């Protein structure tokens, strides 16, 4: 079995490395030459990557990138019966259209967005939210189990992305709550390390708080302690919260906190800080 992995960025690189260390036949591709040179198993072109490949895995920023790459792959992929696994975070409607389009070409499709960040990608402990036909999910499982420790099936195509939109709305709202509370704690003159240690083991604990503490210092490995290098870029947080708002509009469910968080992160990204980790929004809150 040959695997083609497209998108070797913050997340895709460690995920592809996990698969490569499992001694699978894997070939990678990214439009960014720096990413290509950091991965030992890169193809010379996307055409070359498509040759004799059975499973394509995409880990790309947005739906437009996924759709463009799938177009290229369909152009160059000679045989039918391939499996496409999209681990990017994109919208539910584009995902369903993609699944139908691939089915017309005789290919299987699984939407498999992830949670856990770069650390989990490096350790092979990502959580996957899965949508698709059960035979396609069964085919994808052995590969996903190398990259992740938790696989949750939600049903038809697009339902993995639906779960991801709701999941990331929790993360975005929580991030703002953590930032605002740390800003107040700082304004009140509290020691940031002690406050962090308190929250870590108390009712305020969350993954966001522990792994993306927004002030430099208390968590040495956090983006905040490393010039806010992502991590999870603020532009991607803005995008994901926008996807949750798209889903809220399509269902008629009101999500005012999610709406406010989406606007706040979008504003932050539009002002030019989108490449920083999302926890950098703290600086605009503390002032």
Q: Is the Cβ–Cβ distance between 87 and 132 less than 8 Å? A: no
CA distances to 6, 79, 156, 204 from 106, rounded to whole Å, are: 20, 9, 17, 49
Neighbours of 252 (CB within 10 A): 6
Query: Which stretches of the chain bind ligand NAD, using CB under 6 A?
Result: 6-12, 29-32, 35, 59-61, 65, 68-69, 88-89, 114-115, 117-118, 232, 236, 240
CA distances to 61, 62, 98, 103 from 66, rounded to whole Å, are: 8, 7, 9, 16
Q: Is the Cβ–Cβ distance between 9 and 59 less than 8 Å? A: yes
Q: Is the Cβ–Cβ distance between 73 and 23 less than 8 Å? A: no
Residues whose CB falls within 8 Å of the CB of residue 47, separated by 6 or more in sequence, listed in order: 76
Pick between residue 151 and residue 198 the one whose CB is nearest to ligand NAD. 151
Phi then psi dihedrals of residue 27, to 5 deg: -130, 135
Pick between residue 183 and residue 238 the one whose CB is nearest to ligand NAD. 238
Q: Which of 200, 242, 221 is nearest to 90 (CA)?
A: 242
Shortest distance, CB of residue 113 to ligand NAD, whole angstroms? 6
Cβ-closest position to ligand NAD? 9
Pick between residue 10 and residue 255 the one whose CB is nearest to ligand NAD. 10
Would you give the DSSP letter of residue 148?
E
Neighbours of 223 (CB within 10 A): 25
Shortest distance, CB of residue 50 to ligand NAD, whole angstroms? 12
Pick between residue 50 and residue 115 the one whose CB is nearest to ligand NAD. 115
Shortest distance, CB of residue 39 to ligand NAD, whole angstroms? 10
Q: Is the Cβ–Cβ distance between 169 and 255 less than 8 Å? A: yes
Shortest distance, CB of residue 173 to ligand NAD, whole angstroms? 16
Neighbours of 194 (CB within 10 A): 11
Pick between residue 31 and residue 181 the one whose CB is nearest to ligand NAD. 31
Among all residues, which ones are annotated catalytic?
Answer: 164
Pick between residue 66 and residue 82 the one whose CB is nearest to ligand NAD. 66
Q: How far apart are CA 169 and CA 176, in angstroms?
A: 11
Phi then psi dihedrals of residue 150, to 5 deg: -140, 120
Shortest distance, CB of residue 230 to ligand NAD, whole angstroms? 6
């Amino acid at each position: 079995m040959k695997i083609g992995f497209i998108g070797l960025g913050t997340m895709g690189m460690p995920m592809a490395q996990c698969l490569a260390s499992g001694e699978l036949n894997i070939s990678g591709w990214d439009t960014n030459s720096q990413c290509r040179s950091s991965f030992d198993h890169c193809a010379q072109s996307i055409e070359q990557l498509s040759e004799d490949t059975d499973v394509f895995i995409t880990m790309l920023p947005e739906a437009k990138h996924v759709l463009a790459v799938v177009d290229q792959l369909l152009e160059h992929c000679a045989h039918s019966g391939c499996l496409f696994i999209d681990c990017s975070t994109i919208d539910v409607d584009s995902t369903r259209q993609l699944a139908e389009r691939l089915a017309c070409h005789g290919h299987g499709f699984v939407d498999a967005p992830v949670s856990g960040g770069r650390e989990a990608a490096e350790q092979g402990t990502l959580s996957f939210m899965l949508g698709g036909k059960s035979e396609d999910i069964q085919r994808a499982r052995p590969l996903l189990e190398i990259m992740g420790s938790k696989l949750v099936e939600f049903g038809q195509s697009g339902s993995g992305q639906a779960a991801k939109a709701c999941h990331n709305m929790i993360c975005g709202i929580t991030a703002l709550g953590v930032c605002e509370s740390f800003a107040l704690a700082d304004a009140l003159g509290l020691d940031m390390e002690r406050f962090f240690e308190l929250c870590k083991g108390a009712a305020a604990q969350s993954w966001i708080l522990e792994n993306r503490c927004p002030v430099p210092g208390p968590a040495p490995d956090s983006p905040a302690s490393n010039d806010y290098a992502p991590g999870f870029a603020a532009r991607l947080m803005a995008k994901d919260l926008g996807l949750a708002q798209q889903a809220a509009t399509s269902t008629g469910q009101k999500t005012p906190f999610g709406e406010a968080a989406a606007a706040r992160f979008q504003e932050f990204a539009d002002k030019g800080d989108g490449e920083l980790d999302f926890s950098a929004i703290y600086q605009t809150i503390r002032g």
